[in-house]
Chain A
Amino acid sequence: MRDVAIIGVGCTEFGEHWGTSFRDLFVKAGTLALEDAGVTGENLDALYVGNMSAGRFVEQEHIGALIADYAGLATNHVASTRVEAACASGGLAFRQAVIAVASGMEDIVVAAGVEKMTDVGTGASVDMLASAADREWEGFAGATFPGLYAMIATDYMHRYPLTREQLAEVAVKNHENGAKNPIAQFRNRITVDTVLNSSLVADPLRLFDCSPITDGAAAVVVVPLERAREFTDSPVKVLASAQASDTIALHDRRDISTLDATVAAGRGAFSQAGLTHKDIDMLEVHDCFTIAEICAIEDLGFCKKGEAGRLTAEGTTALGGEIPVNTSGGLKACGHPVGATGIKQIYEIVSQLRGEAGARQVDAEIGMAHNVGGTGATVVVHILGA
């Protein structure tokens, strides 16, 4: 197995791109990543594209070929593969690219993620996102995605001393970070009252506990570490790539409030990298809902179960805190174009490790990305090092 490095990253602004198509979003992110990496399209060996549901959002399947074509690579016959694991599609596409390069099969590979969500109405989006859970036995009963995470929150708050205000602090912190991120969908600061006064979506979760519906794309270029210096003076090493599965339905989990796949992927990543929690300087975690960030911090082992709410309220996870979490603004404020999110997390960590994160820059040499599909049926964890 070869060591793998990231040599370039690119990301579109996240938001409601009424004037931009699915393919144009991808082309923009891909172009930015190739420019950043200093490689040209004809040098690419393969593309891996994370995408959850173009078939339903824009009625387009065969995404691998479409992307290769509009990236101008159809006549080069580049290998192009779509990767799908609901909201973890991006993280998984990155993992596939890393595996391809590590194996020696491919040398210069793009991992990308793209989702165009606003071409359908909100009710239709809610229904599509629910297909990340079990359609026959959760969706059939009326389970929405906020509803499923709300049931995690109900169970969690029944068992652990998490207050409604502490939960709101997750969104406040992520909006604070998003306000400093030029690609973020929401760049406005909010208060705990903003969250508590927003409308209920699924009790106890309110509108400002939920990540938004977003259009966006992100791309990164990976190569063997031994070749990285040909392209850049600041390669970022992939120190670990771990993936775990769990039951598709929330009701079948061992523990409603613990994402066992996060625990497993987190342990796997630490073991691969030979690192411990104190070595990690920053985290990008999957905060599709505020409760998800609380669970992620705990299930990755950064604190005991029941403590992440208090730590968030105390500022431990803020930009200047001991372990900054979601410096990008997270899914909550930066936005959540589902297939692109996992790649955006890699983009953010690379920006931080290279010292290019501007107003939200933290002191970091090692970062961890945590990307979840569904309510925890797929989890992908990566550790990156400067």
Chain B
Amino acid sequence: MSVSRFWRKIPQRYNLVGTQCTTCGRYFFPPRSLCPDCRRSGKIVDHKFNGEGTVVTYTVVRSASDQFENTTPYVLAVVQLDEGPRLTTQIACPPGEAKIGMRVKSVFRRVAADGESGTIHYGTKFVPSE
């Protein structure tokens, strides 16, 4: 991912900043700039999520793209934040420990790097919270 492409979403990636439609109250992470329900009558504002959620589904990735090959095996999951939206993320836990329904909380972690001399991509992962 290019530097500018990564850089422009730093608040979202580092601090779990998504959006909310204040017309209907729905939260979005990943952030959306158009509410699918209210469309043009929706009003979108930034919202920082509290970072607590539940594992909806997961896998253990054992064969990855070049960028993640040094990280395997890793737990990849869909997490539902307590405010409602779902996101795809890694759970920083041993592969055998991931479970559907597991409570998790967000943490700041190194996610990947563009080769040995490229940008290091930091972002949000989750860890078990109970």
Q: Separation in Å of the A51 CB from the closest CB of chain B?
A: 21
* Distance in angstroms between the alpha carbons of A203 and B88 in the assembled complex: 16
Which residue of B is nearest A159, CB measured? B100
Q: Which of B9, B62, B123 contacts A141 (CB 8 A)?
A: B123
- Asked whether B117 is an interface residue with its Cβ less than 8 Å from the other chain, the reply is no
Stretch at the interface among A78-86, A245-253, A319-327, A353-361: A245-253
- Asked whether A306 is an interface residue with its Cβ less than 8 Å from the other chain, the reply is no
Interface bits A199-225 vs B (CB < 8 Å: 1, else 0) = 111111100000000000000000000
Asked if A147 and B57 make an inter-chain contact with CB atoms under 8 angstroms apart, the answer reads no
A residues in contact with B68, CB < 8 Å: 142, 144
Task: Report if A202-B86 is in contact (Cβ < 8 Å); known contacts: A130-B65, A142-B74.
Answer: no
- Asked whether B121 is an interface residue with its Cβ less than 8 Å from the other chain, the reply is yes
- Asked whether A123 is an interface residue with its Cβ less than 8 Å from the other chain, the reply is yes
Q: Which of B64, B86, B95, B100 contacts A144 (CB 8 A)?
A: B64
- Asked whether B107 is an interface residue with its Cβ less than 8 Å from the other chain, the reply is no
A residues in contact with B111, CB < 8 Å: 140-142
Asked if B63 and A151 make an inter-chain contact with CB atoms under 8 angstroms apart, the answer reads no
Asked if A143 and B57 make an inter-chain contact with CB atoms under 8 angstroms apart, the answer reads no
* Distance in angstroms between the alpha carbons of A204 and B58 in the assembled complex: 10
Interface bits A138-182 vs B (CB < 8 Å: 1, else 0) = 101111101100111111001000000000000000000000000
Asked if B30 and A250 make an inter-chain contact with CB atoms under 8 angstroms apart, the answer reads no
* Distance in angstroms between the alpha carbons of A152 and B78 in the assembled complex: 10
- Asked whether A124 is an interface residue with its Cβ less than 8 Å from the other chain, the reply is yes
Asked if A141 and B78 make an inter-chain contact with CB atoms under 8 angstroms apart, the answer reads no
Interface bits B22-63 vs A (CB < 8 Å: 1, else 0) = 000000001000000000000000000000000011111111
Asked if A138 and B65 make an inter-chain contact with CB atoms under 8 angstroms apart, the answer reads no
Asked if B69 and A154 make an inter-chain contact with CB atoms under 8 angstroms apart, the answer reads no
* Distance in angstroms between the alpha carbons of A143 and B74 in the assembled complex: 10
- Asked whether A127 is an interface residue with its Cβ less than 8 Å from the other chain, the reply is yes
- Asked whether B87 is an interface residue with its Cβ less than 8 Å from the other chain, the reply is yes
Q: Which of A136, A146, A201, A251 contacts B86 (CB 8 A)?
A: A251
Residue among B1, B62, B69, B100 with most chain A CB within 10 A:
B62
Asked if B62 and A200 make an inter-chain contact with CB atoms under 8 angstroms apart, the answer reads yes
- Asked whether B71 is an interface residue with its Cβ less than 8 Å from the other chain, the reply is yes
* Chain B interface helix/strand/loop/mixed: strand
Asked if A249 and B57 make an inter-chain contact with CB atoms under 8 angstroms apart, the answer reads no
Asked if B88 and A200 make an inter-chain contact with CB atoms under 8 angstroms apart, the answer reads no
- Asked whether A70 is an interface residue with its Cβ less than 8 Å from the other chain, the reply is no
Asked if B76 and A250 make an inter-chain contact with CB atoms under 8 angstroms apart, the answer reads no
* Distance in angstroms between the alpha carbons of A127 and B61 in the assembled complex: 13
Which residue of B is nearest A122, CB measured? B63
Which residue of B is nearest A201, CB measured? B63
B residues in contact with A202, CB < 8 Å: 59-63, 76
B residues in contact with A135, CB < 8 Å: 1
Q: Separation in Å of the A4 CB from the closest CB of chain B?
A: 34
- Asked whether B129 is an interface residue with its Cβ less than 8 Å from the other chain, the reply is no
Asked if A142 and B30 make an inter-chain contact with CB atoms under 8 angstroms apart, the answer reads no
Residue among A137, A142, A153, A250 with most chain B CB within 10 A:
A142
Asked if A154 and B1 make an inter-chain contact with CB atoms under 8 angstroms apart, the answer reads no
Asked if A151 and B58 make an inter-chain contact with CB atoms under 8 angstroms apart, the answer reads yes
Q: Separation in Å of the B12 CB from the closest CB of chain A?
A: 9
* Distance in angstroms between the alpha carbons of A201 and B88 in the assembled complex: 18
Which residue of A is nearest B13, CB measured? A140
B residues in contact with A203, CB < 8 Å: 59-60, 62, 95
Q: Which of B56, B76, B89 contacts A155 (CB 8 A)?
A: B56
* Distance in angstroms between the alpha carbons of A151 and B57 in the assembled complex: 6
Chain B, 67-88, CB within 8 A of any chain A CB: 67-69, 71, 74, 76-78, 86-88
* Distance in angstroms between the alpha carbons of A134 and B78 in the assembled complex: 13
* Distance in angstroms between the alpha carbons of A123 and B63 in the assembled complex: 9
Question: Besides the contacts A144-B63, A144-B65, A202-B62, what 7 more A-B pairs have beta carbons closer than 8 Å?
Answer: A124-B65, A134-B30, A134-B88, A137-B87, A140-B111, A199-B63, A256-B78
Binding site for A on B (CB under 8 A): 1, 5, 9, 13, 30, 56-69, 71, 74, 76-78, 86-90, 95, 100, 111-112, 121, 123
Q: Ordered nearest first, which 6 A-B pairs have the shortest CB separation?
A: A150-B59, A127-B65, A123-B66, A155-B57, A137-B30, A251-B86
Q: List 11 A-B contacts (CB under 8 A).
A: A123-B64, A127-B65, A137-B88, A140-B1, A141-B88, A142-B71, A142-B90, A144-B65, A144-B68, A155-B100, A202-B60
